[in-house]
């Protein structure tokens, strides 16, 4: 914000992208731990807003493969500047809340250059930082690429891909890769595919999709955040597309965002605190976090009654005390 009464928000255009982020102090403090004890997950989910804006969920998973939410963002575009802004604001507000820099050793996301570049910009200052590629995304792209091939050849490629994914060490992976590519090159129809595979999936950005890169005990896929996203659609929006303001209100009206999602009884990936959840009460008027917590708005739009649109680029944010009647108008603390 440029001032306590002037929110900073874009209008959704290419020149002024729309970015709104919400979190709480309690959620942010879930990343205040040894960076080797968690994996940061970032994932976009769709079909939640009527205007088609994706929702970016950022959280961490622990060695028990439980997902802990840090923040949720609504963005108008999924380009590198937006991902960089999302992660930069998260890091800045984390520093403000905890007094410590956000330290990340492992991050997992899609095979997306925008995500990779943003994570490198924000978290890549530490030489130990590693970006782990979500293997399902790799397999999906390979499957699409091989659909034009003979069914037997395509099946062989996918089988080899899974064998490479489950390699137990880099030495084993390199040996298997050499054997696999030697077999691929025996087939003329795979000559161009081998070139594609080496260029896209073995480059410096996207080559860490094998199991041995994931630390022992942690989720080797993006399933924790994917399951969380599915729970939002099924139990919060009821698979309806909402207006942006209504979606924010619905997220804020969750019993607790730092408590289990409604599917917590069905998957450990969303079982964050172990507290109970009333599955039929998706419209409860309870705040995000607890009564002493604060909702941190990194941006919020002018149509919440906070004034006119202003220029973007500031790193400040507003803190809004809980109280549903003044949630979007108070800017205290």
Over 50: is that where the pLDDT of 310 sits? Answer: no
Write down the domain spans for the chain: 19-132+216-326, 135-208
Rounded CA gap, 4 and 6, in Å?
Answer: 6
Token reading at 136: 């399902």
Rounded CA gap, 92 and 1, in Å?
Answer: 13
**pLDDT > 90: what percent of the chain?**
24
Which one-letter DSSP state was computed for residue 329? Answer: T
Q: For residue 178, give Cα distances in angstroms to 47, 165, 172, 185.
A: 42, 14, 10, 11
The overall average pLDDT reported for the chain is: 74
* pLDDT one-digit tens code per residue, 56-100: 999 998 888 888 889 999 888 888 888 888 899 899 999 999 999
Over 60: is that where the pLDDT of 282 sits? Answer: no
**Are residues 109 and 42 in contact, defined by beta-carbon separation less than 8 angstroms?**
yes
* pLDDT one-digit tens code per residue, 95-118: 999 999 999 999 988 878 888 888
Provide the pLDDT for residue 15.
Answer: 76
Q: Give 240-305 as a DSSP string.
A: --B-HHHHHHHHHTSS-TTS--TTTTT-GGG-SS-----TT-TT--PPSS-TT-EEEEEE--GGGT
Provide the pLDDT for residue 171.
Answer: 92
pLDDT class of 253 with cuts at 50, 70, 90: low
| Of 69, 77, 65, residue with least CA distance to 31 | 69
Lowest average pLDDT, out of 131-135, 141-145, 234-238, 249-253, goes to: 249-253
Average pLDDT on 120-136 reads: 83
């Amino acid at each position: 914000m440029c001032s306590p009464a002037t929110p900073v928000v874009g209008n959704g255009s290419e020149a002024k992208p729309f970015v709104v982020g919400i979190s709480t102090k309690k959620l942010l403090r879930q990343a205040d731990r040894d960076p080797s004890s968690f994996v940061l997950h970032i994932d976009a989910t769709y079909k939640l807003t009527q205007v088609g804006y994706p929702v970016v969920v950022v959280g961490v998973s622990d060695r028990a493969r439980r997902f802990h939410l840090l923040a949720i963002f609504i963005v108008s575009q999924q380009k590198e500047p937006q991902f960089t802004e999302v992660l930069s604001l998260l890091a800045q507000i984390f520093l403000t809340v905890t007094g410590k820099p956000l330290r990340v050793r492992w991050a997992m996301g899609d095979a997306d250059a925008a995500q990779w570049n943003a994570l490198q910009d924000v978290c890549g200052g530490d030489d130990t930082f590693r970006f782990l590629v979500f293997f399902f995304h790799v397999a999906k792209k390979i499957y699409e690429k091989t659909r034009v091939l003979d069914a037997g050849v395509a099946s062989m490629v996918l089988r080899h891909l899974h064998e490479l994914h489950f390699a137990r060490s880099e030495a084993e992976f390199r040996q298997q890769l050499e054997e696999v590519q030697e077999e691929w090159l025996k087939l003329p129809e795979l000559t161009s595919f081998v070139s594609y595979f080496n260029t896209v999936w073995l480059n410096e950005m996207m080559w860490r999709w094998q199991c041995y890169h994931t630390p022992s005990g942690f989720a080797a896929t993006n399933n924790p955040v994917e399951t969380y996203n599915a729970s939002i659609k099924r139990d919060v929006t009821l698979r309806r597309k909402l207006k942006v303001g209504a979606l924010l209100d619905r997220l804020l009206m969750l019993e607790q965002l730092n408590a289990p999602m409604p599917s917590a009884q069905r998957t450990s990936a969303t079982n964050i605190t172990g507290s109970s959840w009333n599955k039929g009460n998706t419209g409860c008027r309870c705040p995000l976090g607890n009564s002493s917590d604060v909702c941190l708005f990194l941006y919020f739009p002018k149509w919440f009654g906070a004034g006119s649109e202003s220029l973007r680029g500031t790193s400040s944010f507003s803190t809004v005390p809980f109280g549903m009647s003044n949630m979007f108008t108070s800017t205290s603390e």
